[in-house]
């Protein structure tokens, strides 16, 4: 079990994609595991045949435990040949203490004379071998066994040599000008563990362009993050109220007469619970509310859905709410910060990684859109669509949940008017969006039916005072009430 995330000590095996006897290739995904941060697919760094799965699905395994063994010695021999090899191996072991005329190629294999104690079964070519000799059935059997051993030894030696070359190219540090110690040819594969390769793939980083800092020239996670110049957060899981990226999984049926059911808390849910407690009792939360008429925003959403520039993209109220929050952050950058307890400093962020809380069958996750402040409206719509689609498939990676600076949680999809969201650890603000309902509203001096919603902003009172928090919430409300401010305030 590799270390699939910083600080993680265990992971649960969710699903095996291979079974004993299956052929696997380097980089092939063999299982899916769930950590305290996310569900992650694990690739295998070998070519060969799956020999054994050490743990069944649903088992929680410590990092460093062996979970799968792979035979890298080549393809499995045919049944008749395998049986003959087993007989020949047993015979060779029985004669291990007797003098041998020739040195065996591998332990347990070779061309030593047989003692006649065990007669191997004849394989397909054994008949032709026996007819050429003179000595009857015993001589025929010995000749067949010796021929099979010679062939097996040659095959095994070639397979072992190939495996050694592969291991040297993959694991051993290169010497001098990057030559592997077996063949003297340049190694084209950068050295990195499977989780690091997966992280590089998720972030779009070419391993060949990364400068390794690990022992023996191995590329580490820190090297990947340095290559993309992306700050990493230590707590990517948010305890904020959920917005449903996917419907919650149906509860399993309960047998008649059962009064209680105990569900183990692990993985993402366990980390969420810990983060919720840590955030609630570390950062002094303040929550402010505002009810706003969003009729114009809803009309703009309908117009944008027919805009050719947004064709094929998902356009919904959340898109304009996200844009309104980004405008408010640009006007009030103090909300986009974090508290450094160790150094007693406020860390002001000059970028916005916009988190979107999402409910999945495995629990709450908060992936974020990197550098959302730099995106156009079509770019933001595309990023939101990809984020939701990935969460629905359960493929959100730990990298996608790192480095968030501010979060939106949409409780309105549950029909909820408002809430008091808990801050995502390391962030100073989280905006909850309530249900948009048709309500009586005073508009231009008359009571009319209007589209109305309630916004709630929770903030860390150590960094954000009441004035700053109020200005941020008021700006978001102003944009949603009059979307033309997206232009005048940009």
Catalytic residues: 461
Q: How far apart are CA 105 and CA 365, in angstroms?
A: 56
Provide the phi-psi class of 427: left if phi over 0, else alpha when psi is between -120 and 50, else beta.
beta
Tokens, residue 406:
């501010």
Look at the block and give the residue holding tokens 């009059």: 482
Comparing C-alpha atoms, which of 242, 387, 370, 248 is closest to residue 316? Answer: 387
Q: How far apart are CA 42 and CA 64, in angstroms?
A: 14
Q: How far apart are CA 480 and CA 490, in angstroms?
A: 14
């Amino acid at each position: 079990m590799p270390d699939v995330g910083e600080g993680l000590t265990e992971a649960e095996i969710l699903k095996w994609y291979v079974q004993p006897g299956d052929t696997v290739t380097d980089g092939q995904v063999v299982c899916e595991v769930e950590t305290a941060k996310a569900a992650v697919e694990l690739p295998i760094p070998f070519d060969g045949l799956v020999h054994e799965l050490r743990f069944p699905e649903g088992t929680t395994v410590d990092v460093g435990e062996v979970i799968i063994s792979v035979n890298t010695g080549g393809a499995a021999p045919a049944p008749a040949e395998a049986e003959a090899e087993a007989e020949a191996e047993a015979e060779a072991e029985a004669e291990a203490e007797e003098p041998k005329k020739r040195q065996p190629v591998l332990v347990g294999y070779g061309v030593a004379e047989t003692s006649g104690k065990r007669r191997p079964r004849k394989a397909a070519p054994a008949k032709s071998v026996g007819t050429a000799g003179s000595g009857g059935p015993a001589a025929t059997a010995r000749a067949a066994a010796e021929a099979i051993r010679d062939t097996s030894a040659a095959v095994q030696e070639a397979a072992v040599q190939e495996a050694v070359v592969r291991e040297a190219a993959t694991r051993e540090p290169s010497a001098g000008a990057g030559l592997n110690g077996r063949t003297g040819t340049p190694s084209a594969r950068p050295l990195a563990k499977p989780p690091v390769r997966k992280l590089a793939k998720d972030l779009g980083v070419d391993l060949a362009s990364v400068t390794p800092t690990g022992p023996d020239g191995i590329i580490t996670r820190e090297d990947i993050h340095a290559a993309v110049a992306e700050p990493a957060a230590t707590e990517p899981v948010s305890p904020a109220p959920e917005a449903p990226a996917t419907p919650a999984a149906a509860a399993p049926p309960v047998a008649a007469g059962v009064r209680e059911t105990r569900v183990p808390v692990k993985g993402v849910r366990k980390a969420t619970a810990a983060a919720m407690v840590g955030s609630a009792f570390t950062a002094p939360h303040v929550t402010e509310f505002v009810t706003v008429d969003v009729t114009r925003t809803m009309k703009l959403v309908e117009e944008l859905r027919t805009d050719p520039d947004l064709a094929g993209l998902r356009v919904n109220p959340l898109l304009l709410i996200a844009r309104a929050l980004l405008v408010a952050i640009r006007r009030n950058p103090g909300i986009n910060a974090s508290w450094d307890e160790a150094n007693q400093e406020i860390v002001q962020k000059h970028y916005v990684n916009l988190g979107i809380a999402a409910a999945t069958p495995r629990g709450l996750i908060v992936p974020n859109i990197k550098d959302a402040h730099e995106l156009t409206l079509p770019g933001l719509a595309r990023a939101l669509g990809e984020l939701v689609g990935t969460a629905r498939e359960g493929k959100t990676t730990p990298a996608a949940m790192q480095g968030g600076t501010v979060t939106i949680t949409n409780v309105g999809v549950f029909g909820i008017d408002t809430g008091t969201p808990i801050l995502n650890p390391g962030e100073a603000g989280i905006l909850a969006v309530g249900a948009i309902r048709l309500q009586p509203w005073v508009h231009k001096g008359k009571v009319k039916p209007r589209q109305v919603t309630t916004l709630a902003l929770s903030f860390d009172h150590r960094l954000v005072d009441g004035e700053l928090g109020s200005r941020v919430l008021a700006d978001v409300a102003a944009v949603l009430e009059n979307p033309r401010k997206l232009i005048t305030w940009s």
